[in-house]
A and B are shown apart, each in its own frame.
Chain A
Amino acid sequence: MVSETSRVTPISAAPSAAAARARAARRAGDRTSVLLLLPVAMLLIVGLGAVLSSSSVVAIREGADQWFYVKRQIVWILLGTGALIVTTRIPYRWYAKAASGIFALAVFGLVATLVIGDVRGGSRRWIELGPVTLQASEFAKFAQVAFLAAVMTRKEGYLDRFSHLFWPVAGSLTIVGALLLAQPDLGTAILIAATTFAVLAVSAAPLRHVVGLGTLGALFATVLAYAQPYRRARITAFLDPAADPLGVGLQPIQSLVALGTGGWFGVGLGASRARWSFLPNAHTDFIFAIIGEEVGFAGAIVVVALFVFFAIIGMVIAYRASDRFGRLLAAGIVAWLSLQAVVNIGGVAVLIPITGLPLPLVSAGGSAMIVNLAAIGVLVNIARTPAEQDS
């Protein structure tokens, strides 16, 4: 236990000493929180600039003023910051108790989306509520992480029995996955599955079970990906974009053109060419391509570094979490956000097939922004919560 001396609270400590230690731990947690929020704030600023540049053309073309998406993004950031402040103050252990309710709410949202949602671009993903649209799948990401963390913590003693592991994992994933595929939104489904796998990986479940489930999930995802023609097309486009440069190959090619045009140092702020209707979804899924074009590799690698920094600090928070649930919840949130960024940028750089996931904290979009910042608030709360005595 040598390696853990700094984190273990001795049983014999006097209450006053314990209080002092708790204060010290909270201060340490505050420092970690600041380190966590630093890249988050910087990514938000980068995102605002990138949204301005990438959305002005499409905004004007849609008949709005060029600041339309930026103004909305500012509103989302403000709302998200409000959510972050709230979640920072909610003791994270509450989510363990509320996990089933949260999960049920997410399922309700996904079902509602399928019933009353809006179809855009062939998918039913949004619920229109006056001027705003809600994306239940964003909330579902958090719900799945919280639910799994709670279940894994509660079943800690039985995890070596496969059925205790299998049914909650497979059950929750099947419900959420099926509802997402019905939209259809394979990207989010795969992301949630991968996040689930990450949560499993850091849990106490036996490695063979984790690997077994992971392999099963991967096989299942591959079959699903190839089952639908449009998904197969995206994979084909990834493998050979030039085969259909104006169809499915359009996005990969234009994305690479944008990145290549940026080169090492970029074409300058606001000077992106791709945003002039060459690259579809420039302000959402492909915002990283615009960043890479305008500020080049030099700027793009900074964005990558910010995400890596965020992931590492997040993992440190998970590592230092005061209890099992905190660790699983923190690791799940970090895995989700970091993986989503990897999948998004990987898609933009045509390292992996395009999945249609936005870049967290950067892409234009409301539901994602609020949920992401709220989840980061949860991370802050985990970081700032001292270990309970004699857990």
Chain B
Amino acid sequence: MRRPGWRVADLRLVLVAVVHVAAWLAIAARLVDVQGLHAEAFAERGLEQRVRHEELAAKRGTIFDRDGVELAVSISAQTMIANPSQLADPVGVAKLLAPLVGVEEATLVERLTREGSQFAYIARRLEREALDNVVALVESLDLEGVYFIDEPKRVYPAGGLASQIIGFVQDDDGVGLEGLEYEFDEVLAGTPGALVVERDPFGNPIPQGQFLVDPAVPGSDLVLTIDREIEFLAQQALTAAVERTGAIAGTVVVLDVQTGEILAIANTPTFDANDRSNLDVDRFRNRAVTDVYEPGSTLKVVTVAAALEEGVVTPSDVFTVPQKLVIHDKSYTDTARTGEEEMTVAEIVARSSNIGTILIQDQLGNDAHHRYLSAFGLGQVASGQFPGEVDGSLQPVGEWCKTTCGPSTAIGYRVDVTPLQMAAVFAAIANDGVWVEPHIVKEVLPGRGAPEPFEPKRRPVLNAETARTMRLLLQGVVERGTGTRAQIAGYTVGGKTGTTEKFVPGEGYSETDRIASFIGMAPLTEPRIVVAVVLDSPQGELEGGVDLRFGGVSAAPVFAEVAEAALHLLGVAPDAG
């Protein structure tokens, strides 16, 4: 028999069941809220903690010489990083890895034991053997909290060759800092890609998650006009000359006269882009384009060429040339000459007579003179492909004084030029009077798309006839004038010496220091190259009392050495007995 209590208890059982169902209904309502009405906010938070927008590095373009040999190239390297908070034994790891990665043990211990740190570099840009060793160790010990990331390394296989031209990139982020690496940084860098990926808290991609890749566009390659071997020989010759003459610095430019291609630019002092620790930034300067000097006698070619082209003189015209000429408050003299002489235009050029050239310029006039200086590219940036390239200075003719300005300009003062500008002037004479824009980048090879060759600007300045006449005058300089040390066995050579008092900003002209230069071309029958040599402050004397400060003495032999080697390397046939 049932007791009366059952009935009450029945109700209470139903009540308990109802309470249960009510609890479940509360849960269902909560799920509607969390998964339906307010799901968005929670889902958003989930995306925030999983979805990463990452940059895919673009491979930096390679810089090649004209023959396709690598001058600057990015190689794959890996940077080792750690999450110190995940390391079981930071000090042990530091001691283990320090000798393998070439980082000081104390430094590494300090990096890995920093309080609360989630990120530390162990070593950057490990490559080849060092990388293999470290990877093997990490795998064999199953080390947790250590990771590798790709970080390409920029190397310069040619070492110290053409360093100022190529420049270099910043170690940390691979951005170009100097040279073509800087000037063409955007072209070389390419466009980074983007990666959208869901990652777990340890950084591993979640297989089912979003994965969107917008691949990186690799940077364009640069093909330079540089000939590695000529560059090497030019650098050798220049370094030797600077040492021999006691000069502070020097520059050699080798131009292909028909194409305007820069076959070599050598600078001293120089550096190796692979190891730049503790270097004076002076060494990074590409003096051929960043430094100006007063060209002195080498600029006489413009004065004489202009006078010939304008028909105011002919090579055989005779001038009565005094030993000394005083104009206004300034006296002009010719070195190594005494008394008044009758000189032809050819002789004036060959013997580099200041006064003779001033007399010729007087016939030419300032306006015409200036027109030619400008047409030859002076006062304007020569190539525009180099960073820090300067335009020099050429005053507008309206600002020239009526007294000494013309005469001084005639003999290469009052005009600031770069070695490259002067090389281009001589190249125009060599190239039958057509000035061609000198350039270093022959071709840009984009990561995608067709090659983009560089088309240099061309500008006729002289008649071919005038140019040929000028070359004969320049041949006289080398054969019987001031530039005899520039002669090369087997080739006809023409050129011009230059020696100017060095202008020191803030101090004026130096009593002792000279800028010595020689710019020449060969072979004269069909010129192929121009070589410009500029030495900053050569010192001392050769045996027999020859003063090294003169361009014909110190710079001309460098010309001969470089030009001869270059002609041989270029396979140019000899044109003289």
Contact = CB atoms under 8 A, between A and B. Distances in A.
Interface of A: 1, 4, 8, 57, 156, 198, 201-204, 207, 253, 256-264, 267-268, 270-271, 273-274, 276-278, 292, 296-297, 300-301, 304, 307-308, 311-312, 315, 318-319, 327, 331, 335, 338-339, 342, 345-346, 349-351, 390-391
A257 B41 CA distance: 8
B74 to A, nearest CB: 34
Contacts of A292: 31, 35
B46 A202 contact: no
26 contacts: A156-B3, A198-B16, A201-B15, A204-B8, A257-B45, A260-B41, A262-B39, A263-B39, A270-B208, A276-B200, A277-B202, A278-B201, A296-B35, A301-B28, A311-B17, A311-B20, A311-B24, A312-B17, A315-B17, A319-B13, A331-B13, A331-B16, A342-B23, A349-B31, A351-B26, A390-B1
B342 interface: no
Contacts of A268: 208
Given A260-B42, A264-B39, A278-B49, A315 B13 contact: yes
A292 B46 CA distance: 14
A87 to B, nearest CB: 22
Which of B2, B20, B200 gathers most chain A CB within 10 Å?
B20
Which of B16, B38, B40 gathers most chain A CB within 10 Å?
B16
Contacts of A1: 2
Interface string B1-43: 1110110111011111100110110111011101110111111
Nearest to A210: B12
A258 to B, nearest CB: 7
Contacts of A262: 35, 39
B30 A256 contact: no
B42 A256 contact: yes
A192 to B, nearest CB: 16
Interface string B542-567: 00000000000000000000000000
B185 interface: no
B215 interface: no
Contact of A345 (B16, B27, B202, B206): B27
A46 B79 CA distance: 46
User: Interface on chain B toward A: helix, strand, loop, or mixed SS?
Assistant: helix
A271 B207 CA distance: 8
Contacts of A253: 45
Contacts of A276: 200-201, 204, 206
B289 to A, nearest CB: 57
Contacts of B3: 156, 204
Given A301-B31, A342-B27, A391-B1, 8 more contacts: A259-B31, A263-B39, A264-B35, A276-B201, A311-B24, A319-B10, A345-B27, A349-B31
B16 A304 contact: no
B35 A300 contact: yes
A260 B30 contact: no
Contacts of B15: 201
Contacts of B39: 259-264
Given A257-B43, A273-B206, A300 B31 contact: yes
B30 A342 contact: no
Contacts of B1: 390-391
B42 A261 contact: yes
Contacts of B42: 256-257, 259-261
B50 interface: yes
A190 B42 CA distance: 30
Contacts of B437: none
A362 B20 CA distance: 19
B198 interface: yes
A315 B206 contact: no
B209 interface: yes
Which of B6, B34, B38, B208 gathers most chain A CB within 10 Å?
B34
Contacts of A271: 208
